[in-house]
Amino acid sequence: MKLINKSQKLEDVCYDIRGPVLQSALALESQGESILKLNIGNPAPFGFEAPDSILNYVAEHLHDAEGYSHSMGIIQARSAILSHAMSHGFSNINLDDIFLGNGVSELIVSTTQALLDNGDEILVPSPDYPLWTAAANLAGGKAVHYICDEAADWTPDIDDIKSKVTTKTKAIVVINPNNPTGAVYPLEILQEIAKIAETHQLVVFADEIYDKILYDDAQHIPMGSLIEKTLCISFNGLSKAYRLAGFRAGWAITSGNKALAKSYIEGINMLLSMRLCANVPAQLAIEPALNGKQCIDDLRLPKGRLYEQRELGYSLLTQIEGISCVKPKGGIYLFPKLDPKRYPIKNDEQLIHDFLMQEKILLVQGSAFNLNDNQHFRLVFLPEKDQLTHAINRLAHFLLNRF
């Protein structure tokens, strides 16, 4: 009997955030167990609701969403994105530079597929949001990981980036604010990355989905405001700041030297045309979101729920013997480190699996983010304080009894 196998193109594609440990969690749920899922940044299940003004607007205009839209997206949404981007320092952009997708994830896959030939390289941070590595591999390319230095608040190591540029390098990914670390990069680091990209004419992929979720004195500087001599593609959407993850409303903006990339941009448009259009009801949400009250500030500023839960999660984790953590300046995650002398971990995926089976709490191992050690994990700090406290206390109990 001849077996039907998956494509060999999938051999190096890995997305462990929804990988084997999650499958075990789903199996437990099927047996009636309740699992606290701290593995993904999904705001809605934890009571972070989207603004009623956005939902009401979409409901009132659903009749306008019954047909296909233009493959690049509806004019109202793209106009709102254009105005928003220009107000944040983007220059020399117009409506034709903006295209909408079914979430940023779809656009990441499409833009890498349109760029990479077999054997091409793309520089990706380590740790990374693993879809970038998976998308590069799926497109036939190779993700080359540059170091983000934990000792320097997880900022990119510029010398390491320079050492990894080759004649095969086509692009560099900048995730800012970073997922999973929560780092927000300072201007001088971004300028250095821009200089490298412009010198070697690399496409800059700027993943900026958490740009509005900032804490303390952190400031987000869009890469699209810095790049002039090469192409920059900036990605954003409604999933996090507007708590509309299920809508899958994302967009990308091409800026910088677009004349240099005319053929490539045509390739992106070709792929987007093949899927006809992004979800039109979700596109309706973009204009009222960007032009309405930015209520994420009520959550991220002092006394706001996200701010307070970040403070609590960080405090509880760093009180556990042998755990350190760079305090995140953006995003919704904590990325702690387990001291290898106190916790000699050989397999971090097995550790996270065992914690799930014992405590019914789901985390993600650090190696899932293409980090070359077994000492980190990612924890979403979206639960209410009592639930977050319970989860971290159970983690402390688990670790101190295991090691």
Which pLDDT value is given to residue 17?
60
Report the chain's mean pLDDT, rounded to a whole number. Answer: 94
Report how far residue 352's alpha carbon sits from residue 401's, in angstroms, rounded to the nearest whole number: 15
Tens-digit pLDDT profile for residues 137-194 = 999 999 999 999 999 999 999 999 999 999 999 999 999 999 999 999 999 999 999 9
pLDDT at 10 over 90: no
pLDDT in tens, 109-134: 999 999 999 999 999 999 999 999 99
Could you report the per-residue pLDDT of 287-331, keeping only the tens digit for each? 999 999 999 999 999 999 999 999 999 999 999 999 999 999 999
Domains in the chain with CATH codes: 8-49+298-402 (3.90.1150.10), 52-291 (3.40.640.10)
* pLDDT tens-digit series, residues 40-95: 999 999 999 999 999 999 999 999 998 999 999 999 999 999 999 999 999 889 99
Confidence class for position 14, pLDDT limits 50, 70, 90: low
Q: How confident is the model at residue 15 (pLDDT cuts 50, 70, 90)?
A: low
Query: pLDDT tens digit string along 93-107?
Result: 999 999 999 999 999
